[in-house]
Structure 1
Amino acid sequence: MPTYTTDHSSSVLQTHSWRTASNSAAYLLPHIQPNMHILDIGCGPGTITLDLATRIPQGHITGVENTASPLDSARTLAHAQNLTNVDFQVADIHALPFADNSFDIVHVHQVLQHIADPVQALREMRRVAKPHGGIVAARESASSTWYPDNDGIAAWLELTERMGKAKGGNPHPGRYIHVWAEQAGFARGSIRKSAGAWCFSSPEEREYWGGSMEGRFRSSGFAKMAVEEGYASVEELEVIARGWREWVEEEMGWFGLLHGEILCWK
């Protein structure tokens, strides 16, 4: 099993907590019905999960994560929003603890890139999706670009890709997740491919995105692992952190992240 290199530190959860169904799963929303049962895998702090819960008032959603650490916050947020059609539990995407044909929709967002066997994960997602209309939905990053040129951000991309591969992951696989889906048993004609993007350019957006990235390289499980396992020095991490801060303070700063998306019908 690979290590999830970005862990669930406060700076990481800051990034994940910005995510909603609207900004991270818009490709899926037209297919949601009010009485559906949904499985959200890799739910983290639960913000996408809870946004989906509001769209299925007669249904139910289960959010799962491979560790318990972010789930208390997710439950607290659900309670604060008075959402009762949701539950959270620990589960391994490679061997889901659910019966065959259990869910109308099985969803992942930026999960397949971090795991040991994404094809097996998609097989499991397919297994627990209902027949005759059940949907498996996945969205994974494909590529990043930014303005202006920034050596620290370039070093960030190189380091995160190198560590992800060394830990058994597949960094930025959005351009070929449909290939994995076919290998997992979905018929080619049942796979719908699309693309979506995030863009951060306003002062508030730059502070959110770049500030959280700066924090990751100053204090997080990722930073600790990078140094302890010899992927980078403290000084190299500081170059990356400063690069993100420089980008935040650049009035013309712009960052784009392209995602590949698939909807697969069982």
Structure 2
Amino acid sequence: MAVYITDHSTSLAHSVQFRQLPPTAHNTDVQILDIGCGPGSISVDFARRANHGHVIGIENVPDPLDQARHLAASQGVTNVDFRLGDIHALEFPDNTFDIVHVHQVLQHIIDPVKALCEMRRIVKRGGIVAARESASMIWYPENVGIDNWLEITQRMGKAKGGNPHPGRYIHVWAEGAGFDLANIRKSTGSWCFSTPEERQYWGGSMGERVRSSGLAKTAVEEGYATKEELERISKGWREFVEDEQAWFGLLHGEMLCWK
């Protein structure tokens, strides 16, 4: 069961387009599953690199899948398809995929160990389960609105059974799912938003989400924040965008797990 505290609104789709792979060229025959594919940016990148293989992207709700299909079609990528799926009960036989990939999804579900058990089941012997989750955030200058945004979103995620920003301990979940610690490679990655374009991209999408996405609706309806508090948070993000000295950093925990 997913406990996503927002929806797949335009502002969210815009922010997750940042989730793309480094520009490299590959020509590989692999079968890849991208779990929590959203609008398809990573799935399409995988398919472009594995152009003799095939990619399946799954989501637990249908909202973003048409956008993902449109993205693939607009780029002429045909070796990818998108469908509904449940991360806790993946409808694939054992040993199906060479790579099973999940990005910023485990933090939103109630039972990440069960999900990783499923991923381990469907990956081939010698294949890879790859995961990346946010671990911590830092920004400059001090910003009360962003402080409040982080506090409210973490509180909402925990209340709904999620694990906000678990990147520092996702390898523990993998061990619990049956991966040997010797077969888990841990690493980190980071994003930094500091140029005017980057601040507009990140701060603009975050500000929009607290005004009009499912997160805003849920926060008000379930008593996590008032409309006035959300407006102050949105103001904080606008101040971040407009401040030439501002920057926002996001550290991720990453792991590659071999079966």
TM-score between both structures, scaled by the size of structure 2: 0.98
CA offsets 1:115-150 (integer angstroms, 9 cap, x no match):
01000000000000001x110000000000000000
Q: CA–CA distance in 2 between the matches of 1:2 and 1:232?
A: 22
What aligned pairs does 1:244-255 form with structure 2 within 5 A after superposition?
244-255=237-248
Distance 1:106 1:2, change over 3 A: closer
Which secondary structure state, in structure 1, belongs to the residue aligned with residue 124 of structure 2?
A: coil
Preserved contact between residue 104 and residue 132 of structure 2 (Cα < 8 Å): yes
Structure 1: runs of 5 or more not aligned: 24-28
Of 38, 43, 58, which aligns to 1:44?
38
| Matching residue within 244, 248, 251 for 1:258 | 251
- Where does residue 160 of structure 2 map in the other structure? 167
2:213 aligned partner: 220
Structure 1 counterpart SS, 2:91: coil
C-alpha distance in 2 between matches for 1:228 and 1:190: 44
Alpha-carbon deviation of 1:159?
Answer: 0.5
Q: How far apart, in 2, do the equivalents of 1:66 and 1:2 lie? A: 8
Report the more deviating stretch, 33-42 or 190-199.
Answer: 33-42
User: In structure 1, which of residues 194, 203, 211 is the aligned counterpart of residue 204 of structure 2?
Assistant: 211
The DSSP-based 3-state class of the residue aligned with 1:256 is strand
**1:64 and 2:58 equivalent?**
yes
**Cα distance in 2 for residues equivalent to 1:237 and 1:56:** 43
- Counterpart of 2:9 in structure 1 is 9
Which residue identity lines up with residue 91 of structure 1 in the other structure?
G
Alignment deviations for residues 151-188 of structure 1 (CA, whole Å, 9 cap, x no partner): 00000110010000001100000000000000000001
**Cα displacement (A) at 1:33:** 6.3
2:47–2:54: 8 Å Cα contact kept in structure 1? yes
5 Å matches for 1:80-159? 80-131=74-125, 133-159=126-152
Maintained 8 Å contact 1:2/1:167: no
Taking the aligned partners of 2:160 and 2:55, their CA distance within structure 1 comes to: 31
- What is the match of residue 235 of structure 1? 228
* TM superposition shift of 1:88: 0.4
Shift of the alpha carbon at 1:19? Answer: 1.8
Aligned residues with identical type, % of pairs: 66
Q: What SS class does the counterpart of residue 99 from structure 1 fall into?
A: coil
> TM-score under structure 1 normalisation?
0.95
Letter in 2 for 1:212: S
For residues 220-258 of structure 1, give each alpha carbon's deviation from its aligned partner in whole angstroms, at most 9, with x where no partner exists: 111000000001000110111000000000000100000
User: How many Å apart are 1:18 and its aligned residue?
Assistant: 2.5
RMSD between aligned alpha carbons? 1.3
Report what 1:26 is aligned to: none
Task: Answer whether contact 1:194 1:260 (CA < 8 A) is retained.
Answer: yes
Contact 2:27 2:52 in 1 (8 A): no
2:97 counterpart SS class: coil
Residues 38 and 106, structure 1, Cα contact 8 Å, conserved in 2: yes
| Distance across 1 between alignment mates of 2:213 and 2:78 | 32
Amino acid at match of 1:10: T
Alignment length, in residue pairs?
259
